[in-house]
Amino acid sequence: MKTKNALLSAAVLAVTISMVSCDKEKTDAPVQPITKTKDITVNFSGTTPFTLFSFKDTSVVANTDSTSTKWDFALRLTTFLVNSYSGGPGNAGVIVQDGLYDNITTAPAAGYAYDTTASQRAIKDGSWYDYNPTTHSFVPKAGKVFIFRTGDGSHYAKMELLSADYAPFTGPAPNQIIYKMRFTYQPDGSKNF
C-alpha cells in the first residue's frame, strides 16, 4: 500500500513539475513585434481635425480621445503632431533616422524629439517628403524611418511612409490624403524590432 501511495505521489509531483516547466517556457518566450502595412486617410485643410493614430491598436483613434495617451502621432496634410508637450498629453517622442527600414532592429535609448511649441515640431514639415510645385504633389522620401516612443511612454515602434495620394474628390481641390505606411510595434516594451 505504501509503495502504491509513494508511486502515486511521485507521479503527481512529476506532472506538477512538468506543468510548471511548461508554463515557465511559455512566459519566457519573446513577444514577437507586430508588423503591418496600413492606409490612413488624413484631412487636407488646416481648419479640419488631425487624424490620430495608435500603434498598439493599429488604428485611427477618435478625436474625442485627443486629450488622452491612446494615440501616438497625428497627421494633417503634411504636419505631424507627436503626443507629448505641446502636441498632446502623452509621453511620445520621435527620431527621424536615415536608413533602410529592415536594417533598423533596435530603438535608441535616448535622443527623442518632442513638439515643444506649435511652431517647433518634432517632425519638421518638409523634412520627410519631396514636393513638386508644378504638379502640386509630394512623395515621402525613401530611407526616412520614424522611430517612436509611444504616447504611453513605455513602448516603441518604427514606421516608414510608402506613399501619399490624394483621395478622390469632386470639388475644385482635394480635401484628403491617403498615406500608406508600414510599421512595426513591439508590444512587450522592449526596444527590439
**Has residue 146 been placed in a domain?**
yes
pLDDT band for position 13 (cuts 50, 70, 90): very low
User: Residues 87, 164: one domain?
Assistant: yes
pLDDT tens sequence across 79-92 = 999 999 999 999 99
Q: How far apart are CA 90 and CA 71, in angstroms?
A: 8
Position 130 confidence tier, pLDDT thresholds 50, 70, 90: very high
Q: Which residues contact 177 (CB under 8 A, 6 or more apart)?
A: 41, 42, 44, 77, 164, 165, 166, 167
Q: Are residues 87 and 25 in the same domain?
A: no
Kindly state whether residues 51 and 141 are assigned to the same domain: yes
Same domain as 53, residue 17: no
Cell 486617410 found at = 41
The verdict on 13 and 89 lying in the same domain is no
For residues 71 and 155, the answer to whether their CB atoms sit within 8 Å is no
Q: What is the pLDDT of residue 113?
A: 97
Range of the domain at 16: 1-30
Average pLDDT over residues 20-24: 49
Q: Confidence class of residue 71 from pLDDT cuts 50, 70 and 90?
A: very high
Domain total for the chain? 2
- Position 191 in a domain: no
The cell for 163 is 506613399
- Give the per-residue pLDDT at 7: 45
Same domain, 12 and 72: no
Q: Between 15 and 58, whose confidence is greater? A: 58
Q: Is the pLDDT assigned to residue 17 strictly greater than 80? A: no
Give 46 or 186, the one with higher predicted confidence: 186
Predicted pLDDT at 42 = 95
Query: Which of 1-5, 13-17, 175-179 is the least confident region?
Result: 13-17
Based on the fold, state whether residues 181 and 153 are members of the same structural domain.
yes
> For 68-162, where are the alpha helices, taking DSSP H only?
none
Residues 112 and 160 in one domain: yes
* Mean pLDDT score, 90-100: 97
* The model's pTM: 0.82
